[in-house]
Amino acid sequence: MSAVFSDGSGLFFAILGAALAALLAGAGSARGVGMAGQAAAGVVTDQPDMFGRVLILQLLPGTQGIYGLLIAFVAMNNLGIMSGSPEVNCSLLKGLAYLGACLPMAIVGYISAINQAKAAVASIALVSKRPDQFGKSMLFPAMVETYAIFALLISILALNGVGNI
Amino acid sequence: MSVLSMKRVLVAGLKKDRKELLELLQRKGIVQISTEDIAAEAGAEGSVFYQSDESGARTTFEKSAQAATNALSVINNAVKDPNAVSMFSGRHQMSLTDYTTNVKKREKIMEMVGDLNALAKRQSEIQAEIPKLEAQRESLTPWLSYDQDMGFTGTKTTRAFIGTLPNEVPLEEIYKGIDEVAKDITGVDVTIISSSSEQTCIQVVCLNKDAAKVEEALRHMSFARPVVSGSDPKSQDAALMQQIEGLNRQLAENEGRIASYAEHREEIKLMADYFQMRADKYEVIGRLYQTDKIFLLSGYVEERNAKALEDMLESRFDCVVEVKDPSPDEDVPVALRNNGYAAPVEGVVGSYALPGKGEIDPTFIAAIFYYFLFGMMLSDAAYGLIMVVGCAVILNKNKGKIEEGMRKTLTMFMYAGIGTMFWGVMFGSYFGDLPQVVMRTFFGKEIGSLALWVEPAVEPMTVLGFAFIVGIIHIFFGMGASAYTSIKQGKPLDALYDVGFWYLLLIGAIGILLTTDMVGGMFGLNLVLPGAVMTILKVFAAVGAVGIILFGGRDSSNWGLRIGKGLYALYGISSYLSDILSYSRLLALGLATGVISSVFNSMAAMVAAPPVIGPVLFIVIVVVGHTLNLAINALGAYVHTNRLEYVEFFGKFYNGGGKPFTPFTENTKHYKVLD
């Protein structure tokens, strides 16, 4: 065991955390934006002038991917990967702490993106029938995003703290 | 600052003035027609008044408007409209005299409209016809080298079969196939006209007497009659080609004719508007109460316009105008009026709900926080400047023409941009950390933080704590608004029970929490309050809690139930907790903007090393990256500012439910006729 989990192996887990944040949140957003995009394209077939509005609604589940990217970036930056001098002596504990810090964004990002997309699809249908309700229609998907924002916050705060280990 | 006070207006006019009076009202756009209040009296059985059914006329006008709109899109498809109404520029304005002269030409213009729509129909017919002819030509291709009529059956003594065999069959095999079945025939001549892997087109000639046998033989080989018939393929093909050419010529010709109408585009636009206005007018006429000589019109008018309306109508027409207060049980439509600072947020309030009966207009207090919250979430001085300059330029360019709603929206984003600049300066974010990155990459200098206050990425807990304070103030304002509404409605005790006790409890609880190790320590406070202050806080919390338990369920007369409900109301403190936590998004979205900026900036810095090409790539990445970041985060800031206002803030005091004031006006797309 000690040979496998030598002192420097923390770096692996730290990067795994960063990768998971970008990967899962990105995958969720990709699916979400795709779902919303199909609904949006359907609306534009009949009502081309709705393009601007449905595009904004389609974009809403895309933020999780950005937050995931952001967490991955902060983690890699703290690890010195961006500046070209990775922290090769990162202890196992610290590496696992990085992994843990990234998980809220990774998991909540994935799930919230897909559920936000479902709300966005419904909102797109709403806007197609009641264009005047655009203001409200944006709120429903945004409610879901709240939890991605909370996850983002916790991940950032945790990453900040891990740096001091 | 408030919900505008509305008046009921009743106009009794002569029928001969009806058209002119309604058109005047339509141009002014200050009266919402609503004849429900006189319906009981004027619409009663045996009343001298009647309502005329104008749905027929209305449909006719709507059809004409639709025809003009269609004709317009026909022209626009052919020739791009240089004078199109853009999102920002608003409708073109036209004086009443110009309008009257132009409208007189309507028969001529509608002729053009009819012509254009007929042309468009013809064009689509031709466009459907051409592929059919092309398909016919396609099926002729294998037969093109055949110089007989396709219907050729032979001469006096011979019989000819024309048709196809499946797959590619060589000549010898065809002869062999015929020989096998038709054994004792005099002779047969087979010509291959064309062959491909799918089929072989052949002509088979034999003597009349052998015809039956040969036909039998051919059937064995799955011989089939050709799909084409008629005269010889070459001339058929030539005729088809000519037809297609002719149609193409027609297409081009029609296209030219459509394009030649481009100079009449503005007149056609006016027709679309004119008929729409007439349709709207007839909708109103259908709701009037009339006799043979007079008509009655009733509606709402803003109080500030009432006097002017009365004077205007009475001076121009022989009519009676009566202005009075709406009866208390009426569902009076709502219009808001705010000062220049708050008015832009009216759209945000409107898209939640307009104030219901007895509610205050929340626009002003919503606006106090709106720009601040938005700014904190976007928080970049450069982005803010871009928003301010962008909106100001558009507003200035379209001054006086821009539609009211768009003007308010742009003004709102301009002010939100000022909020963004303010927070950008506080947090030291100018395109993120671009100044630092540029100095480091190109000049090798470290300039450090530019923040006037703190950098959220460096001291997130400080900003988080501040975000919670903002949240608490915001929520307290909302509760204050609730108390104000209660007092205004003459229920001061409700204000005490539902807001006062909560104020005491929350202030006490927050104060005590801050001195604890857990919460105080989280924000690095080592707060030790003097004993007297602690006692006051404890008393506050206790009085608040007891008050809520005693009065939270005051609508129940049973004391047991009442205390139970009161305890449940006290449990509502958890919702205050989650409301306050919700403001952590102020930090999170602010961080998102800053960190994504720095992601792009460091990506740009990575490629900046090589001379010439490096700086160019640097600039490209910075421009593209920040454009993207601004778009995404401005959207995020907008959506989440609305959320905080709608859910956390309005949730405390505001229900809405008012119907918007929709005056009878020029509901047009292209022109606005001035009066």
Render pLDDT for B448-468 as a digit per residue (tens, 0 to 9).
889 999 998 888 888 988 999
Same domain? B588 vs B496: no
Identify the domain boundary among B530, B560, B581: B581
List CB contacts (< 8 A) between B596 and chain A.
66, 69-70
- Residues in A lying within 8 Å of B, measured between beta carbons: 56, 59-60, 62-63, 66-67, 69-70, 73-74, 77, 82, 133-136, 138-139, 142-143, 145-146, 149-150, 152-153, 156-157, 160
Same structural domain, B451 and B374: yes
User: Which pLDDT belongs to residue A40?
Assistant: 94
Query: Under a CB-based contact definition with an 8 Å cutoff, are residues A64 and A148 in contact?
Result: yes
Chain-centroid distance, C-alpha B385: 26
Which range among A45-59, B355-369, B407-421 has the greatest average pLDDT? B407-421
Integer CA distances (angstroms), B86 to A55, B162, B262, B265, B401, in order: 19, 64, 19, 16, 11
On whether both B356 and B310 belong to a single domain, the answer is: no
What tens digit of pLDDT does each residue of A10-26 get? 889 999 999 999 999 99
Predicted confidence at residue B289, as pLDDT, reads 92
pLDDT tops 70 at residue A3? no
Is residue B124's pLDDT more than 50? Answer: yes
Q: How confident is the model at residue B312 (pLDDT cuts 50, 70, 90)?
A: very high
Cα–Cα distance, B327 to B38 (Å, whole number):
12
pLDDT over threshold 50, residue B314: yes
Does position B224 have pLDDT exceeding 60, yes or no?
A: yes
| Rg of chain B taking only CA atoms, in angstroms | 40
Residue B141 lies in a domain: no
Q: Is residue A1 part of a domain?
A: no
Q: Among the three residues B292, B324, B356, which one is the final residue of a domain in this structure? A: B324
A11: domain CATH number is 1.20.120.610
Chain A interface includes B460 (CB < 8 A)? yes
pLDDT, residue A4, reads: 56
Q: What sections of chain A are H helices per DSSP?
A: 10-46, 51-59, 63-78, 92-129, 134-162
Instruction: Supply the ipTM of this predicted assembly.
Output: 0.82
| Same domain, yes or no: B366 and B440 | yes
B665 touches chain A (CB under 8 A): no
Least reliable range by pLDDT among B19-23, B211-215, B317-321, B631-635: B211-215
- Counting the structural domains of chain B, the total is 4
Chain B residue numbers touching A153 (CB-CB < 8 A): 464, 584-585, 587-588, 591
Query: Is B482 exposed, middle or buried (CB count within 10 Å of its CB: 0-12, 13-18, 19+)?
Result: buried
Residues B450 and B498 in one domain: no
User: What residues make up the domain containing B97?
Assistant: 2-105+265-324
* A2 domain-assigned: no
- The span from the CA of B272 to the CA of B74, in Å, is 14
CA neighbor of B201 nearest in space, from B184, B219, B226: B226
Instruction: Give the pLDDT score at A69.
Output: 87
Residue A19 token pair: 């990768």
Q: Which burial class, exposed, middle or buried, applies to B161 when counting CB atoms under 10 A from its CB (0-12, 13-18, 19+)?
A: buried
The phi, psi pair for B296, rounded to 5°, reads -115, 130
Q: pLDDT tens for residues A105-118?
A: 999 999 999 999 99
Could you tell me if residue A102 is inside a domain? Answer: yes
> Residue A104, exposed/middle/buried by CB under 10 A (0-12, 13-18, 19+)?
buried
pLDDT tier for residue B353 given thresholds of 50, 70 and 90? confident
| pLDDT(B616) > 50 | yes
**Is the pLDDT reported for residue A1 higher than 60?**
no
> Are residue B587 and residue B454 in the same domain, yes or no?
yes
Which chain A residues are closer than 8 Å to B589 by Cβ? 149
Residues B425, B488: one domain?
A: no
Q: Could you tell me what percent of chain B has a pLDDT over 90? A: 57
- In angstroms, the separation between the Cα of residue A89 and the nearest Cα of chain B is 24
> Is any Cβ of chain A less than 8 angstroms from the Cβ of B212?
no
pLDDT of residue B35: 87
Domain region containing A58: 7-162
Q: Flag whether A143 is in a domain.
A: yes
> Is residue B445 situated within a structural domain?
yes
- Look over chain B and give the mean of its residue pLDDT values, rounded to a whole number: 90
Let me know whether B574 and B598 are in one domain.
Answer: no
Domain annotation covers residue A60: yes
Residues B559 and B604 in one domain: no
Burial profile B640-653: b = 16 or more Cβ within 10 angstroms, e = fewer: bbbbbbbbbbbebb
Residues B523 and B543 occupy one common structural domain? yes
Question: Which of B324, B344, B362 finishes a domain?
Answer: B324
Assess if residue B661 is contained within a domain: no
pLDDT band at B481 (very low <50, low <70, confident <90, very high): very high
Based on the structure, what is the number of domains in chain A?
1
Return residues 335-374 of B near A (CB < 8 Å): 347-348, 350-352
CA dist B272 and B107 (Å) reads 13
Query: Quick one: B467 and B609 in the same domain?
Result: no
Q: How far, in whole angstroms, is CA B339 from its chain's centroid?
A: 27
Residues B97-114: what's their mean pLDDT?
91
| pLDDT at residue number B149 | 86
What is the chain B residue with the closest CA to A53?
A: B635
- Is the residue at B566 inside a domain? yes
Residues 6 or more apart in contact with residue B640 via CB below 8 angstroms: A142, A145, A149, B377, B585, B589
- Residue B124 CA to residue B113 CA, distance in Å, equals 17
